[in-house]
Amino acid sequence: MIDIKLLVENPKYFKDASKKKLVEVDVAQIVELKNRQNQLIKSRDELRYELNQGSTGKPTEEKQKELREVKAQIKILETEINDLENKIYALARMIPNPAFDDVPIGKDDSENVSIREVGEKIKFNYEPKDYLTIAEGLDIIDVKRAGKVSGSRFGYLKNEGAWLELGLMNLAFNTLANENILEEIIKKNNLNVSAKTFVPMIPPVMLKPEVFAQLGYVDRGDIDYFKIKDDELVLVGTSEQSLVPYFKDEILEEKNLPVRFLVFSSCFRREAGSYGKDTRGILRVHQFDKLEMVSFSTQENSKEEHKFLLAIEEYLMQQLELPYRVLNICAGDLGDPAAAKFDIEVWFPFENKYRETHSTSNTTDFQARRLNTRYRSKGETKFVHILNGTAFSQRPILAIIENNQTKEGWVKVPKVLQKYLPFDIIKR
């Protein structure tokens, strides 16, 4: 949620910022309601002063009658103030987090900006196969039986496929728990951040609807999530959703920031907006496992912390020796909570195109303001800045299969994963 005080002071900024995200908002109405509320608050406070002054000593019967009337007026005003507060809050929730000034202007993912490409695309001396053909041939992914059991957009990871996921998770856990590696990443990228390690977490995957709503994803009708109707709970669509509210209604100490978590969970998505897209295989599914980084930062350090999360993502992909590119996501493709976002897309040789495997977002204080998560700094409290970034999902497994395939239909395991696995090649 945006700062309403700032909105009243500069309504044009928020109107223009919302337009960049392709959102039309009635800023003028919020300002009008807030000004009206301020007038009522002033009137109420004046009456409270009058009430306090009149209550001193032993008031006469006539004076007591006057004070009772004042009390009644205060009660009426407080009702009006609260009603206006609810209206203001409901309208303000429709306003997305303004994008940073250096975020590209654009309407959708076709206008995201490529920052860099890293790694050489492998040149095959034969026609490469797609990951699913290879995986089915090696019996490491089974979507046909998943279809019988669960329907479309599900799959089984089995045999070495399951091992690959465990290998990726071990690589990430060991990387983000190693202060020396984090210091190396910081030095290489010339970053001014702490090398503080990430706290491993396995969170709940079900949220109270009111908590889920506070994350800022559903205010304008986004329904790309699963509900558990009888128990009034929501299944997380991505791992950070149950970690971002971890400090809800709490005040942290500045000296303890950043607080970083590495969160592993299953995730559940309806994929309601992807009808007909990526229906083959397990690239876009209703259920998948994910390892997510979440950071609670000071306001001053959040941009640098965001660069750090991106640098970690790139480090992990470089360890896998997969070719990738980094995208700066345009304003129209950002979503409500994010003020800035970077994606990593990995090269898939069969399709001859890049596919997204990672993203990292800086939501500034947008989610923290809704969750009332603050920190104490020099005698005052401020809202924390909350950031998230992918360590690994299951998608890199697919990229490993395609990029490391052999003519025989085998798959070579990246060297960095071999120490976590009982094999260095998948073959039959």
CATH number of the domain at 33, please. Answer: 1.10.287.40
Element (H, E) at 39: helix 27-54
Q: How far apart are CA 46 and CA 188, in angstroms?
A: 60
On whether both 215 and 339 belong to a single domain, the answer is yes
On whether both 261 and 133 belong to a single domain, the answer is yes
Instruction: Count the helices and strands in the chain (H runs, E runs).
Output: 13, 18
Q: Is residue 200 part of a domain?
A: yes
Q: 61, 92, 123 — which closes off a domain?
A: 92
Task: Classify 50 as helix, strand or coil.
Answer: helix
Tell me the pLDDT of the chain averaged across its residues.
93
On whether both 8 and 131 belong to a single domain, the answer is no
The upper half-sphere exposure of residue 201, i.e. CA atoms within 13 Å in the direction of its Cβ, equals 22
Of the given ranges (109-118, 198-207, 269-278, 332-341), which has the lowest mean pLDDT?
Answer: 269-278
Model confidence pLDDT, tens digit, residues 34-88: 999 999 999 999 999 988 888 777 777 888 888 889 999 999 999 999 999 999 9
Task: Provide the percentage of residues in the chain whose pLDDT is more than 90.
Answer: 84
**Contact assessment for residue 154 and residue 146, using Cβ atoms and an 8 Å cutoff:** yes
Other Cβ atoms closer than 10 A to 116: 9
Q: Is residue 145 part of a domain?
A: yes
Residues spanned by the domain of 82:
4-92
The upper half-sphere exposure of residue 328, i.e. CA atoms within 13 Å in the direction of its Cβ, equals 13
On whether both 318 and 389 belong to a single domain, the answer is yes
On whether both 163 and 261 belong to a single domain, the answer is yes
On whether both 160 and 20 belong to a single domain, the answer is no
**Which pLDDT belongs to residue 272?**
61
Q: How far apart are CA 165 and CA 394, in angstroms?
A: 7
In the predicted structure, residue 222 carries a pLDDT above the cut 60: no
Please give the tally of structural domains in the chain: 2
Q: How far apart are CA 162 and CA 165, in angstroms?
A: 5
**Which pLDDT belongs to residue 161?**
96
> pLDDT-based confidence at 225, cuts 50/70/90?
confident
CATH number (domain holding residue 142)? 3.30.930.10
- The model's pTM is 0.92
In the predicted structure, residue 391 carries a pLDDT above the cut 60: yes
Q: Which residues contact 305 (CB under 8 A, 6 or more apart)?
A: 193, 258, 295, 297, 362, 385, 387
**Contact assessment for residue 342 and residue 327, using Cβ atoms and an 8 Å cutoff:** yes
**Which pLDDT belongs to residue 273?**
58
Alpha-carbon dihedral angle through residues 95, 96, 101, 102, given to the nearest 10 degrees: -160
**Contact assessment for residue 258 and residue 296, using Cβ atoms and an 8 Å cutoff:** yes
**Which pLDDT belongs to residue 53?**
82
In the predicted structure, residue 326 carries a pLDDT above the cut 70: yes
In the predicted structure, residue 355 carries a pLDDT above the cut 90: yes
**Which pLDDT belongs to residue 405?**
97
**Which pLDDT belongs to residue 352?**
94
Tokens 């071990």 -> residue: 170
On whether both 216 and 271 belong to a single domain, the answer is yes
> pLDDT-based confidence at 220, cuts 50/70/90?
low
**Which pLDDT belongs to residue 62?**
83
On whether both 70 and 125 belong to a single domain, the answer is no
Q: Is residue 236 part of a domain?
A: yes
